[in-house]
Structure 1
Amino acid sequence: MKFTQSLKKNSQFRYVYHRGKSLANRHLVLYVIKNGKQTNQLGISVSKKVGKSVVRSRVTRLIRESYRLMEEDIKEGYDLVVIARVAANTASFQEISGSLRHLIKKHQLLVTSQEKSSEKSSDL
């Protein structure tokens, strides 16, 4: 089941950049803003400073997979834009995943165990 849609248009990215809150660490920058929908929307930006196209594609795949694995633990109703920094070009999957989890936790977007249990009981 797909929980997240992609941000594709330049105007969508600009809106999140200008109105959203941002936090950064060594590998990534994360912009977040509420979207008022039932799903999240994810945008990934990897500039040419990071490396050639093969490297940029690899970093994009690592970010997308890291997000996919923790998608169920993230609150719904947000637009997220992840920007890769130059240090991401040599980072391993574990480093990218840890960086993304750190930023999502800093933005307080992780669903707590209490919220998970209340969702499960309401689904029954």
Structure 2
Amino acid sequence: MSLQNELFTVVYAKNGLDFNRIAIVVRKKLGKAHDRNKIKRWVRESYRTMKLEIAKGYDIVVIPRKALSEILDTIDYWTIRDGLEALLKRIGT
């Protein structure tokens, strides 16, 4: 199943385990290596800080959308976190 907003697409499926596994897929079209790495770091940190609030037992793939690359220079970590949190909390409902 998948969820999306203006910044991210999240694809998830039950994994039969009692913990989540997460993957972050950032395409080269989203910018230079330092921009892609910055997105991955922010997504990892966002997940780490909210993983206790997310339903357990899912494989989760986070895919940043093109709109994120266009505004990456003007946004901060908290914008990324809020956008991702809105999607991840809907998993399993």
Q: Aligning the two structures, in what range does the TM-score lie when normalised by the shorter sequence?
A: 0.7 to 0.9
- Greater length-normalized contact order (CA 8 Å, ≥ 6 residues apart): 2
Match 2:47 to one of 47, 52, 67: 67
Larger radius of gyration: 1
Q: Does 1:45 align with 2:29?
A: no
Q: Deviations over 1:56-92 (max 9, x none)?
A: 0000000000000001111211000000112223132
CA RMSD of aligned residues (A): 1.3
Aligned length: 89
Match 1:88 to one of 59, 68, 74: 68
Partner of 1:6: none
User: Percent identity between the aligned chains?
Assistant: 38
TM-score using structure 1 length: 0.67
TM-score using structure 2 length: 0.88
Greater helix percent: which structure?
1
Contact 1:59 1:88 in 2 (8 A): no
Gaps of 5+ in 1: 1-20, 110-124
Moved >4 Å (runs of 4+)? none
Match 1:78 to one of 58, 61, 67: 58
Gaps of 5+ in 2: none
Q: Does 1:100 align with 2:84?
A: yes
